[in-house]
Chain A
Amino acid sequence: MEDFLSTLRELEETGSAAIRGAGDPAELEQVRVEYLGRKARLTLLLRSVGELPPERRRPAGAEANRVKKRLLELLEARAAELAAAVAEGRAESDATLPGRERWRGARHPCTLVTDEICEIFKELGFVRARGPEAESVWYNFIALNTPLDHPAVDEQDTFYLGSDVVLRTHTSPVQARVMEKWPPPVRILVPGVVYRRDPFDASHAPAFEQIEGLAVDEGISFVDFKASINYFVRRFFGEDVVTRFRPSFFPFTEPSAEVDVSCTICHGKGCSACKGTGWIEIMGAGMVDPAVFDNVGYDSERYTGFAFGMGVGRIAMQRYRIPDIRLLYESDVRFLAQFERA
């Protein structure tokens, strides 16, 4: 009996699905023959009711008839639908007609770059961290070894919300916030929006995306720093790209470095993308200045580390050959939709 009923249930389910799926009257007729024809399993099953023990014949017969009735109803309804479709001239018979399309969404090019950077550094054990965009002067400057009367402060013209509150000029304050809260080892990435008081033009935006990295532990050296950045560069830009590390200055790293990669377009020969130099500047970086460790209560004799910061928009512009930064922030759908496949 269980067998009989479960076969019935299966026939009901597969049969109704087949009916719904029939795309034209011919296909529907095939389905009818398969499920309700003279040699169909349901027909055979109905005939076999007589072979069941007498007390089970009635319920089994009733259930089988119900299923048959339901399938017949569905068949009729589907036949009517298909007939209507034919009448409206929408026969689904020309397979060269375009398929039913859906809008495709797309991530912003800056998100694509950020996500890829995070993916790569994840392989090196980095996790993502976050901090406020309205930041205190302490975290944005002083904790990062940048006194306000330092000439370096000029270079990052700052938006003020109050005498002690600024819109962060870099993602670096998150370094200090994270180190205050968690003990080493620290390996974090901080994607986020930063603010500079630059009017909008082809290469400047007053608010833009940056990504920061910080690694702190015992024994992290300049060699670890170089190797980690080189690992990232090879994974992100390609195995054939070379880096150059050259001296620079940031108050919160020492030694400080600027990292350039060989131009991915001209491979170092010099072109308009690299302004003829063969190199593209991708990040400011260096070993964490011990003053920063002192400010967050880490033992600067015991712990060392490296930090880096990259302009995400710049890298996106380079990667996708976007000539004007304003395209990133205008939200023109004809621009954004180009990244649906990326």
Chain B
Amino acid sequence: MDVSYRWLKELAPTIAEPAAALAERITYTAVPVDEVIWLGEGLKELVVGRVESIAKHPQADRLVICQVHIGRGEPVQVVTGAPLVVEGGYYPFVGAGQALPDGQVIKRVKLRGEQSEGMLCSERELGVGRDAAGIMQLMGEFTPGQPVIEAIGFDDYRLVLDVTANRPDLLGHWGIAREVAPGGETDLQLPEFPGHRRAECTIETVPEEGGAAGVRVRIEDPEGCPRYMGAVIRGVTVGPSPEWLASRLRAVGLQPINNVVDATNYVLYELNQPLHAFDLAKLGGPAVVIRRAKVGEWLRTLDGKDRDLDPEMLVIADAEVPSAMAGLMGGEASEVTEDTRDVFLECAYFDPKRIRRGAQLLGLDTDASYRFQRGIDQAGLPRALQRVIELILTVAGGELDGKVVDVYPRPAQTRTVAVRPSRVSHLLGVQLNEETIRGCLEPIGFELSEGEGERLSVEVPTWRPDVEREVDLIEEVARRHGYGRFPDQMRTFRPTTVPEDEYVAIAERVRDVMVSLGFLEAKTSPFAPGGEGEVSLLNPLSEREDHLRSDLLTGLVHRVEHNFARGQRDVRLFEIGTAFRSAGGPAPEEHIRVAAVWTGRRAPLHWSGQDADWDFWDLKWILASVANVAALGSEVQSLDPVEEAARLNFEEPLLVLSPDRGRLGWAGRLPAGGLEAPRWAGPVWGLELEILPARPQPLAYQPLPVYPGVERDLALVVPKGTAAAEVGAVIREVSPEHLESLSVFDVYEGEKIPEGTRSIAWRLRFRSPDRTLTDEEIDVAMSRIVSALEERLNVGLRGA
């Protein structure tokens, strides 16, 4: 909502602060003011010029030579191509050497041999409007040389208010003035227009159907339209508005159209009452019927579009066909034009929900619909209609014909809400007495009286549809009192009954592990194309993102490609996030997962040569490290590469299995063709793992060993095809309980051992908690291990 500071001060002369201070006060007590704009910016040097004479340019058909009186000295010569310039007209003038608001400096030029000493400006050039076609003629009486800023009322500030949805009353200058005037409503006045013409309006209120100067007005849908007022003005002269009216509209960012339409927009911005003027000659009947649209009806609206109507929409029809979309936009056929002589004025209250529905169905949002949707002041209609009648009479002439009709099937009831001062203090945390409460509420139109017990009975003004409950009044008190005045005082609090979410805590630990392994945390898009997601969106932003991701790794791999494209060879990314799987119905299953992808060197480039590319053994360690935290109690298994690789789309795949939940995750090397990688890229590794909340078993301390351990090494020759894990399993199985640890410390393949075998060297450490083991018993154990390996796996000692 764009607000004129001058306009506010006209309505509430008691406002004394400068614009910036007023804006701050509005921000602190009502709604935010996003911007305060000095409208005269860049216009200081411009003056009003009067065109004294116009002569044809001897060399050019399209140019004319004007002598322009600019208040001092001789008239200056201006050559212009503007077609509509008139003798005696007033125009904004910028002289040679001076600048337009956009910084462009005007030069003294010769146009086809004729000197031009300056320029007459268009609205666009002044930065006050959109019209760039012709120069801007100022309508009214001015003094040549008068500053343009003053002539067009741009010695003013525009306050840009971000009016919240609960404050429809602040969508007009009157409501804002009421909110900020020191004395509130009582400080306000409606000023007279220049040359003001009064109108004696006789209002005839009827429940269903009535008439104004022979126009029948009938409400067929009282739910959609609880109140409709109409009046007829005959004999108007439609034309440009006087400068004061046009400027006022420009000051709040509106484009002047003609005096009748401008008058309705003026009252819209002043009293927050949308109004519509119909060309009476174009209304069949003449009649005005407020009803639901019928199936098959259509209307060409003011913007030239043909719109198919729906029975959910409310229309204003004449005797036969719709002539306007109620509360949204007028129809082209009944639009007020320069030929219009008689107008029918509409001043109505439409149901917010109905207007909202219509706006949604038509994809249309106008100044009027915006206000109707939020709820205007139903009781304010008569005053707004009177105001616009007088404004039209003043600026467009004509006479009010007959009575004003007021079809009002269901007069609105005033709402009364009780408020307990004790509750106000309880919720706000400071003692506020009745006097303070009154001081906050009464200036803005709430009427307080004694209610039951300690209660105050509050009559809510009709322009505040948002205030329905005690708490709504408490908010009014808090904001009018000033949020800044409540003390910053920490008071005691009790601990919560709510336990910390398990997933959040585990995710944090998983993150710690990944970061300690050197990974960078990424956040990727949860949207995916159809091939990469199972769950579809009904209203996606684009076809490429019309699903939710069903895994995290795919998105991360795309991010690796993104980094490859930026020349980054070493990439290590992980993400903790949600994967969405279809669960049959519209609500998907949500899986909280960790995924990681990495490629390039395992460590930064180093002279010791320890910076080879990541390999499978790193993959195993990384997966095990994450799985140990993310899915406690799970186990990492390698898979038969041939069988599983194709299905998982991984080479060298690994699985994470849980004893009770089955497959929880997978990892491996991405197949070379699986992503777009430059030639210099290394292998790309990835993992994805479900995060499962689990409480770790309470940790119990193990006593430190007292007796010495014994280490023995076993160099085994293992036939190819026999897995190290099988060998390890046999060793563990036949070892005495004293086997403390078992590790592989060397693997060898080559000439020194028979073909078809490899050598795996193991180190075994034995230790007893209660005695020193003897060499003899270890020898026995070792020979039992060797013979078991020989028998079961055909594994022998190297060099034996």
Contacts and interface: CB of A to CB of B under 8 A. Distances in A.
**Does B associate with A?**
yes
Interface of A: 5, 9, 90, 97-98, 100-108, 110-111, 115, 124-130, 132-134, 136, 149-152, 155, 159-165, 167, 178, 182-188, 191, 193, 195, 197, 199, 206-207, 209, 215, 217, 219-224, 226-228, 230-231, 244-249, 254-258, 287, 289-290, 304, 328-334, 336-337, 340
Contacts of A191: 504
- Quick one: which of A104, A111, A333, A337 has the most chain B CB within 10 A? A333
B517 A290 contact: no
B427 A165 contact: no
Contact of A90 (B474, B563, B608): B608
Given A162-B586, A206-B541, A106 B520 contact: yes
Given A248-B32, A332-B566, 19 more contacts: A100-B603, A101-B603, A106-B515, A106-B520, A125-B496, A151-B374, A161-B587, A165-B586, A187-B496, A188-B496, A206-B545, A217-B493, A220-B493, A221-B427, A223-B486, A255-B483, A329-B524, A331-B523, A333-B563
A105 B32 contact: no
B495 interface: yes
Interface in B602-660: 603-604, 606-608, 610
A37 B27 CA distance: 86
Contacts of B590: 132-134
B184 to A, nearest CB: 17
B716 interface: no
A134 B588 contact: yes
10 contacts: A134-B587, A161-B537, A187-B496, A207-B526, A222-B427, A223-B489, A227-B491, A245-B486, A328-B523, A333-B572
CB-based closest 3 A-B pairs:
A162-B586, A221-B429, A103-B518
B30 interface: yes
Interface of B: 27-32, 164-167, 353, 356-357, 373-374, 426-430, 469, 471-472, 474-475, 478-479, 483-484, 486-491, 493-501, 503-505, 508, 511, 514-527, 535-541, 545, 548, 556, 559, 562-563, 566, 568, 570-573, 577-578, 580, 585-588, 590, 603-604, 606-608, 610, 708, 772
B577 A333 contact: no
Contacts of A111: 511, 521
A98 B606 contact: yes
Contacts of A105: 514-521, 572
A interface, over-half SS: mixed
B541 A290 contact: no
A340 B426 CA distance: 47
Given A125-B495, A136-B587, A290-B471, A337 B520 contact: yes
A98 B708 CA distance: 40
B32 A258 contact: yes
Given A246-B32, A333-B568, A107 B428 contact: no
Contacts of A193: 526, 577-578
Contact of B483 (A9, A184, A245): A245
Contacts of A136: 587
B588 A161 contact: yes
Given A127-B496, A231-B490, A209 B472 contact: no
A246 B27 contact: yes
Contacts of B511: 107, 111
A329 B525 contact: yes
B607 A97 contact: yes
A245 B469 CA distance: 23
Contacts of B494: 125, 185, 217
Contacts of A162: 538, 585-587
Nearest to A220: B493
A332 B524 CA distance: 11
A5 to B, nearest CB: 8
Given A125-B495, A127-B498, A130-B503, A256 B475 contact: yes
A224 B428 CA distance: 9
A129 B489 CA distance: 27
B354 to A, nearest CB: 10
B427 A207 contact: no
Contact of B578 (A9, A133, A287): A133
B374 A129 contact: no
A81 B503 CA distance: 49
A115 B478 CA distance: 33
Contacts of B519: 103, 105
A151 B374 CA distance: 7
Contacts of A9: 708
A161 B607 contact: no
A75 B103 CA distance: 85
B691 to A, nearest CB: 12
Given A100-B606, A103-B604, A331-B524, A247 B29 contact: yes
Contacts of B429: 221-224
B513 to A, nearest CB: 9
B493 A125 contact: yes
B164 to A, nearest CB: 4
Contacts of B570: 103, 333
A246 B497 contact: no
Contacts of B357: 149
A336 B573 CA distance: 9
A255 B478 contact: yes
A203 B119 CA distance: 41
A89 B157 CA distance: 78
- Quick one: which of A188, A199, A226, A340 has the most chain B CB within 10 A? A226
B437 to A, nearest CB: 14
A224 B492 CA distance: 9
Nearest to A135: B587
Given A125-B493, A246-B483, A329 B523 contact: yes
A130 B538 contact: no
A108 to B, nearest CB: 4
Contacts of B524: 329, 331
Contact of A151 (B27, B356, B491, B606): B356
A228 B488 CA distance: 8
A145 to B, nearest CB: 11
Contact of A304 (B427, B508, B526): B427
A101 B609 CA distance: 11
A125 B540 CA distance: 39
B521 A255 contact: no
B426 A209 contact: no
B681 to A, nearest CB: 13
Contact of B430 (A103, A150, A223, A337): A223
Given A132-B590, A134-B587, A106 B521 contact: yes
Nearest to A103: B518
Contacts of A167: 537, 548
A195 B590 CA distance: 15
Nearest to B164: A249
Contacts of A103: 518-519, 570, 572, 603-604
Contact of A247 (B483, B490, B495, B606): B483
A188 B499 CA distance: 9
- Quick one: which of A124, A227, A337 has the most chain B CB within 10 A? A227
A182 B523 contact: no
B566 A334 contact: yes
Contacts of A334: 566, 568
B478 A332 contact: no
A336 to B, nearest CB: 4
Contact of A290 (B469, B563, B708): B469
Nearest to B493: A125
B587 A227 contact: no
Given A9-B708, A207-B526, A247-B483, A186 B497 contact: yes
B166 A249 contact: yes
A265 B494 CA distance: 36
- Quick one: which of B494, B585, B603 has the most chain A CB within 10 A? B494
A159 B547 CA distance: 11
A228 B518 contact: no
B493 A215 contact: yes
B459 to A, nearest CB: 20
Contacts of A110: 523
